[in-house]
Amino acid sequence: MALGEFDLIRKYFTRPTQQAVLGVGDDCALLQPAAGMQWAISSDMLVEGRHFLSTVRPERLGHKALAVNLSDLAACGARPVAFTLALALPRVDETFLAGLAQGLFELAGEHGIELVGGDTTAGPLNLCITVFGEVPPGQALRRDGARPGDALWVSHARHGGIGDARLALEVFRGHVSLAGDEFETVRRAMEQPQPRVALGLALRGVATAAIDVSDGLAGDLGHVLRRSGVGAVIEVEALPISRVLARQPRALQLDFALAGGDDYELLFTAPADADARVLAAGAAAGVGVRRIGRIGADAGLRLLDAQGAELPLVLGGFDHFRS
Amino acid sequence: MALGEFDLIRKYFTRPTQQAVLGVGDDCALLQPAAGMQWAISSDMLVEGRHFLSTVRPERLGHKALAVNLSDLAACGARPVAFTLALALPRVDETFLAGLAQGLFELAGEHGIELVGGDTTAGPLNLCITVFGEVPPGQALRRDGARPGDALWVSHARHGGIGDARLALEVFRGHVSLAGDEFETVRRAMEQPQPRVALGLALRGVATAAIDVSDGLAGDLGHVLRRSGVGAVIEVEALPISRVLARQPRALQLDFALAGGDDYELLFTAPADADARVLAAGAAAGVGVRRIGRIGADAGLRLLDAQGAELPLVLGGFDHFRS
């Protein structure tokens, strides 16, 4: 039996409200912002074939749709509060919806946030989530705060590295082959990224600038450099590369680590004398943090090898309208 | 020359921030909520072929995408503050984007609100807007406040009525023909609805419940009745019908007025002795308001003709997965 739009919303996406004054089911949700806090807002849209493959398990898709949005809050050092979900579905597939809701609400539960509203319609598969978080005035991590002399850092999973998601994508595309267990590891990085919310909170007052790595490390770093009016050097030997990616040719490792995309790690800067505080923030958040370079006054990005020799930079950030 | 995602955002969707602490171009936007206010949030997704036709002028599409969201704030009596836009585009068409941005920013300017963030990606055409408004605690208009004895009201354009948008759609579908000027009038109702924001604000403290009519008057009224635990009677002779729709057969007039959809008028209830205050609210907002029935204790919706005889109710609210 086909479910109508309102039945769908009730069945899969309506839960009792927690913090919201009014949740799903009215024209608007009503939230009471905490006194004096600023609100951080981000919106990301996921399209089949572009941000996820049709082969993805719906639980992982639900997780990822929320995770990429939480990653933006993490990059601002904001505490997540609530989110809306707008969903276009080509057909009503209850197995798909049940899985999607499961993955979504599991991650929401881990972060203590709630779905407060949204929209459901027929159309080519599309998920648009808008997240709301709070941050004390003046404490948000921004892209424009990097200063010459700052150290450049990137987060990584305990046993993972940057570039794994792209490695998995290239397996799907048939460009790389991996053993089954290796594939499962990097596929999880691609399909189930972990937003670095705890790290973002721990970096308030420590990091001088931050961004989440969604389009490729070098390209995303470019946004920080431009907005901060600075340049950077990356020591490529310091990049966190997983054991799985480390078995690939070195050129491919660097390409995926620097321009792979879909990593959802935090790339951030901190004063050069703040290493201990950054490491403590990583430890508190249970996330690896690696110092990969430094900020300089001269514009542009330079890559140095282990011997300090400059490597050619032929990488471009992943761009949804170019690649 | 093809524009990349970041160029697109810069060129068409980045304006200087007004109220926002931080606008487009960081991981999140930052907003400072006014002290003590509640936040009203709504998210609507528009899909080609479902919410708009490929023939729509991009200026009108930009207008409509924001208007349907502002209509939700209006139905809550919230003052609009800001919005995000996530956009999936099948190709980079600068004429389309320039028109879309024009329609969007014109309406945003009329309401004094700003675009604070969002997302752009390749994909089947899809627009997802999330709007934020503010309302003093306890003053939001909700769906659950209708009480037996209340009068039932609907807003309408000065020279328009409810059902015009559906009439235009049926012309596009080839089911109805209209003279050119008549078509232009109802086409504007369909493509360029005016969100009743000023009316929603004027109805704070007057209306007991409200909803915006997006899926058809009878269906949307059903949400109010269910959430309020009441029933209603509509006197069909009182429905505001435009001169254009009034030239169609009576059965079609009633069908489009009661179940047409896409009207974006406010349907609301108010105490039976509050007529003067409702009329004053309409006058202050420059919008017509028509008393079309009353709320009763018995569940369900009944339609009465001019003689007080009951009409059969064979209408269903427009449902994106059924129609």
Residue B321 lies in a domain: no
Tell me if chain A has a CB within 8 Å of the CB of B27. Answer: yes
Same-domain pairing of B190 and B247: yes
* CATH assignment of the domain containing A181: 3.90.650.10
| Range 81-100 of A in CB contact (< 8 A) with B | 82, 84-88, 92
> How far apart are the CA of B249 and the nearest CA of chain A, in angstroms?
30
Which structural domain, as residue segments, surrounds residue A13? 5-135
Same-domain pairing of B119 and B183: no
Tell me if chain B has a CB within 8 Å of the CB of A263. Answer: no
Residue A37 scores a pLDDT above 50: yes
ipTM of the complex: 0.85
What is the reported pLDDT for A3?
A: 54
> Which tokens is A100 given?
């999607």
Same-domain pairing of A162 and A228: yes
Same-domain pairing of B128 and B262: no
Tell me if chain B has a CB within 8 Å of the CB of A186. Answer: no
Partners of B78 on chain A (C-beta within 8 Å) are: 28
Which range has highest mean pLDDT (A6-10, A17-21, B10-14)?
B10-14
Residue A155 lies in a domain: yes
Q: Assign residue B242 a region (left: φ > 0; alpha: ψ between -120 and 50; beta: otherwise).
A: beta
> Which tokens is B293 given?
């029935």
Tell me if chain B has a CB within 8 Å of the CB of A35. Answer: yes
Say yes or no for a CB contact (<8 Å) between A41 and B84: yes
Say yes or no for a CB contact (<8 Å) between B2 and A44: no
The span from the CA of B161 to the CA of B259, in Å, is 13
> Counting runs of H as helices and runs of E as strands, what totals does chain B give?
10, 12
The count of CB pairs under 8 A between chains A and B is: 235
Task: Provide the whole-model pTM.
Answer: 0.88
Same-domain pairing of B158 and B245: yes
The span from the CA of B182 to the CA of B199, in Å, is 27
Phi then psi dihedrals of residue A25, to 5 deg: 120, -5
> Which tokens is B150 given?
């209340």
Total tally of structural domains belonging to chain A: 2
Same-domain pairing of A81 and A208: no
A300 CB neighbour count, 10 Å cutoff = 12
* Integer CA distances (angstroms), B145 to A153, B10, B148, B205, B223, in order: 53, 44, 10, 12, 11
What is the reported pLDDT for B318?
A: 39
pLDDT per position as a tens digit, A261-310: 999 999 999 999 999 999 999 999 999 999 999 999 999 999 999 898 99
* CATH assignment of the domain containing B15: 3.30.1330.10
Using a pLDDT cut of 70, give the percent of chain B over it: 91
Residue A317 lies in a domain: no
Q: Which residue of A has its CA nearest to B92?
A: A321
Residue B319 lies in a domain: no
Do A264 and A318 meet the contact criterion of CB atoms below 8 Å apart?
A: no
CA end-to-end span of chain B, whole Å?
41
Tell me if chain A has a CB within 8 Å of the CB of B43. Answer: yes
Tell me if chain B has a CB within 8 Å of the CB of A220. Answer: no
Phi then psi dihedrals of residue A234, to 5 deg: -110, 130
Same-domain pairing of A124 and A179: no
Same-domain pairing of A129 and A170: no
The span from the CA of A130 to the CA of A112, in Å, is 16
> Which tokens is B131 given?
């709007």
Tell me if chain B has a CB within 8 Å of the CB of A213. Answer: no
